Amino acid sequence: MGKPSSFLDSLPSAQGTLHVVMLGLDSAGKTTALYRLKFDQYLNTVPTIGFNCEKVKGTLGRSKGQAFLVWDVGGQEKLRPLWKSYTRCTDGIVFVLDSVDLERMEEAKMELARTARSPDNAGVPVLVLANKQDLPGAKEPKELEKLLGLHELGNGHMWVVQPACAITGEGLFEGMDALYEMILKRRKLAKQVKKKNR
Ligand code: G3D
Ligand code: MG
């Protein structure tokens, strides 16, 4: 395998494409969500090298037509040193959560906090995909906000909680649109700061 840059260069029309990384505990529904997004509007696939990566296009709101390269890299601790180099310059984070699994909510909270604290991810917008809303007992966004301690995330992160069902695809494109809005907002803020400092 070549260097990260040559791998990225080999991806079709990477220009203007936003890089999004999907994180979360195992079984949260990351792979299901990725392939639901892909099959709703299939574009192309990239060979899997220890993780899944698909290019998908937004279908709603201002994100309509916007390409996202979505990386599903979670749960593979041993491979992290490898995929870290691909996901360093990420535009957005999708944190997939099992909205029913209260037993592992604390673990999910810790994982999210760890991701948010990483200097590589400073200020990167976070979409919390509150998945498995089809199951009885699924917690609502407001409650998940508290359970995950989103208000204490820090490190300059914007965040949104989007209820979803990865199996039917409900809420997925709404989530991508919300993430896109945060990415635009962050760019606008960065521009304003640059102007002010001139
Ligand atoms: P992961 O990639 O985060 O590890 P997966 O998770 O996408 O492999 O999903 C783990 C399990 O959760 C799968 O079930 C999958 O079908 C299920 N799942 C994912 N999203 C939803 C959802 O929105 N609702 C429900 N009810 N189930 C979901 P299996 O049985 O294959 O382990
Ligand atoms: Mg998976």
Task: Give me the pLDDT at residue 13, please.
Answer: 42
* Sites in the chain below the pLDDT cut of 50: 1-3, 5-6, 8-14, 41-48
Specify if 3 maps to a domain.
no
CATH code of the domain containing 84: 3.40.50.300
CA triple 97-101-102, angle to 5 deg:
110
CA-nearest residue for atom 27, ligand 1, is 132
Distance in angstroms (rounded) separating the CA atoms of residues 41 and 177: 15
Give ligand 1 pocket residues (Cβ under 6 A): 24, 26-32, 74-75, 96, 131-132, 134-135, 165-167
Catalytic, 66? Answer: no
Specify if 2 maps to a domain.
no
Tell me the residue range of the domain where 187 lies: 16-191
Tell how far the Cα of 49 is from the centroid of ligand 2, in angstroms.
13
Ligand showing the shortest atom-to-Cα distance for residue 52: 2
pTM of the predicted model as reported, rounded to 2 decimal places: 0.88
Task: Give me the pLDDT at residue 2, please.
Answer: 43
Tell how far the Cα of 32 is from the centroid of ligand 1, in angstroms.
6
Specify if 8 maps to a domain.
no
Report in angstroms the alpha-carbon separations of 79 from 21, 73, 86. Answer: 15, 9, 12
Task: Give me the pLDDT at residue 166, please.
Answer: 93
Specify if 75 maps to a domain.
yes
Ligand 1 probe mutation, 26, 32, 100, most atoms within 8 A of CB: 32
Specify if 172 maps to a domain.
yes
Task: Give me the pLDDT at residue 67, please.
Answer: 96
Specify if 105 maps to a domain.
yes
How many domains in the chain?
A: 1
Q: Which residue has the tokens 């979803």?
A: 164
Tell how far the Cα of 29 is from the centroid of ligand 2, in angstroms.
7
Q: Is 191 exposed, middle or buried (0-12, 13-18, 19+ CB in 10 A)?
A: exposed
Ligand showing the shortest atom-to-Cα distance for residue 95: 1
